[in-house]
Structure 1
């Protein structure tokens, strides 16, 4: 079955999650933070993801903004910066203004020109996703932005992936699902999507029941992949 619909994870896939910490580190007066920013960005993302999984298992759902704040608080404390409330507020503000990776606008435009559906499927809250899409200027090349908040559980729960077929009326084998998270791409492959893992860091493949069909270093090759799948 030809691909009709291209679905993207948001954070780390379309949007650079390290941009908030990196940009804060470059601001005047943040020289002390600049020594820690890369480690804080790493911890922040790790805890953010871990808290989504743990809350799903514990049936204690909250929105992604809360786990984003919780993850940042852990990261700041781990690096001994928990007392800098101004830094915390600035980092959270910048998270609403994340940059898209450079290849994203042209890649999405190529998919739309080819007549394919395009959408985000994300753990992010609707408000956070709207802010990121607006900041990146990609709203005109997306057909929809789907959030887990409509089902009240984070990925990789099956009901999250169900949202794609419900929205676009397509079968799983018509979908190319793209994520920078190996676990997400693997879970989506197990669901029945054709999946591409954007492995920007060159990490090993996760040991999970299903594996991504394709591994890429960035998103440039997605339009060609969608046409050939």
Structure 2
């Protein structure tokens, strides 16, 4: 069945989640952050995801903005920076202005020009996603930005993937679902999507009930895959 709809995870897939800490660490007077920014960014992202899964399992939903703050607070305390409230404020503000990966705008433009329906499906809360999409200048290429807040549970719950068919009236096999999270790509494959895992870090494949159909280094090939 031909692909009609290309759906992307947002954070780590289209947007560089390390950009906030990296950008701030480069400012003058940020020696304490500069010494640990890469580890802090990794811990922040890890806890952000862990808290989304744990809250889903506990039935205690909090939107992704709240989970993002909780993850940052854990990471700041781990690295001895939790008393710097100005640093916390700046890092959170920069999360609304995350950089898109270099290949993203041209890739999305090619998809849109080819007639594909293009969307984001993200754990992110609507205001976070609006900020990132606007800052990256990619809104003109998107037909929809879908947030899990409409169903009140995080990925990989099937209710999240149901949102794609409900919005666009397409069958799962018509969807190319793209994520930088191996577990997300695996869940999409189990759901019935055609899938691509953007394995930027070169990690091993997750041991889950399904496997992503493709493993890529970046997003450059997505238009060719979608229109093959």
Rounded to whole Å, the distance in 1 between the matches of 2:71 and 2:219 is 27
Rounded to whole Å, the distance in 2 between the matches of 1:138 and 1:74 is 31
Rounded to whole Å, the distance in 2 between the matches of 1:147 and 1:95 is 16
SS at match of 1:127: helix
- RMSD, matched Cα: 0.4
For residue 95 of structure 1, what is the aligned residue in structure 2?
95
For residue 176 of structure 1, what is the aligned residue in structure 2?
176
5+ residue gaps in structure 2? none
For residue 149 of structure 1, what is the aligned residue in structure 2?
149
Number of equivalences? 228
For residue 223 of structure 2, what is the aligned residue in structure 1?
223
Rounded to whole Å, the distance in 1 between the matches of 2:2 and 2:214 is 16
Q: Give how far 1:227 is off.
A: 1.3
For residue 83 of structure 1, what is the aligned residue in structure 2?
83
SS at match of 1:119: strand
Rounded to whole Å, the distance in 2 between the matches of 1:200 and 1:150 is 29
For residue 116 of structure 1, what is the aligned residue in structure 2?
116
5+ residue gaps in structure 1? none
SS at match of 1:96: helix
Q: Show CA shifts across 1:24-65 (max 9, x none).
A: 100111012100100000000000000000000000001000
For residue 60 of structure 2, what is the aligned residue in structure 1?
60
For residue 9 of structure 1, what is the aligned residue in structure 2?
9
Q: Give how far 1:208 is off.
A: 0.1
Q: Give how far 1:72 is off.
A: 0.3
For residue 19 of structure 2, what is the aligned residue in structure 1?
19
> TM-score, length-normalised on structure 2?
0.99
> TM-score, length-normalised on structure 1?
0.99
Q: Give how far 1:19 is off.
A: 0.1
